[in-house]
Amino acid sequence: MALLAGFVTRSTVLREDASLAAFYLISLAAGVLLVSLRGSQIDLLHILFGTVLALDDPALWLLGGISTLTLFALALLYRPLVMECVDPLFLRTVSRAGGPAHYAFLGLVVVNLVAGFQALGTLLAVGLMLLPAIAARFWARGLGGLIGVSMLMGALSSVIGLALSYRFDLPSGPAIVLAAGALYAVSLVAGPRGGLAWRLVRARHLEA
């Protein structure tokens, strides 16, 4: 999926978020269909929505290992990856690292999605990956700030979701993603970098 999405992005007019989403949804539908046809003993609800409170030691080791691998890989790929996103043509003229960095990043995305399946399922894992990053756009301008704020929001969403799940006896995975959605809604309204409230204040200031 990662290789196909990267190939389509670099060969057509589609952006990588669109191509990755397309291949992800197609592979998800195919996987659910195969599980259903094979008559597996695996509960489809656990596949789709995860079991965050039932993680065993191997699953925790997997999550910790992938997190560590991702941090080290991003530290190595940071410079060529940023240049690939900002000015890929310039990077191609001075280095050949653009293609490998691009494919390596897509591979990391897919690996982290697979890790997220263990806790949140195939549907909700995408929400926890995207919502904190989208919400961070309303609070930070530079790339370093965006990374820091998105990590903070992801951790805060997990803590709030688990607390609400424990307090009100709610499903943990949906509670975590809804907490991330609530932080996104707050950011959309009150975020200083293009939030609705700040735009309204500026508009009134200009009218005055």
- The percent helix, strand, coil of the chain (3-state, each to 5) is 85, 0, 15
From the CB of residue 50, how many other CB atoms can be counted at a distance below 10 Å? 26
Structure tokens of 100? Answer: 């490998």
- pLDDT at residue 4 tops 60: yes
The residue to which tokens 């549907």 are assigned: 123
pLDDT by residue (tens digit) across 87-139? 877 777 888 887 788 888 888 988 898 888 878 887 788 889 889 999 999 99
Distance between CA atoms of residues 9 and 20, nearest Å? 9
Please enumerate in sequence order all residues whose Cβ is within 8 A of that of 191, keeping only pairs 6 or more positions apart, or say none: 135, 137, 138, 139, 198
**Angle of helix 16-38 relative to helix 2-11, nearest 10 degrees?**
150
Instruction: Work out the number of other CB atoms within 10 angstroms of the CB of residue 72.
Output: 10
Query: For residue 119, what pLDDT is reported?
Result: 82
pTM to 2 decimals?
A: 0.80
- Cα–Cα dist 80/49, whole Å: 35
Q: Which one, of 174, 181, 166, lies nearest residue 50 by Cα? A: 174
Sign of CA dihedral 164, 165, 166, 172: negative
Residue range 12-69, pLDDT digits in tens = 777 777 777 788 788 878 877 887 777 665 666 666 777 787 788 888 898 999 999 9
Domain boundaries, the chain: 43-207
Collapse the DSSP code of 58 into the 3-class scheme (helix H, G, I; strand E, B; otherwise coil) and give the result.
helix
Looking at per-residue confidence, does 194 or 152 come out higher? 152
Tokens of 126: 């995408």
Strands (E), the chain: none
pLDDT digits (tens, 9 = 90+) for 137-186: 999 988 889 999 999 999 999 999 999 988 998 888 889 999 999 999 99
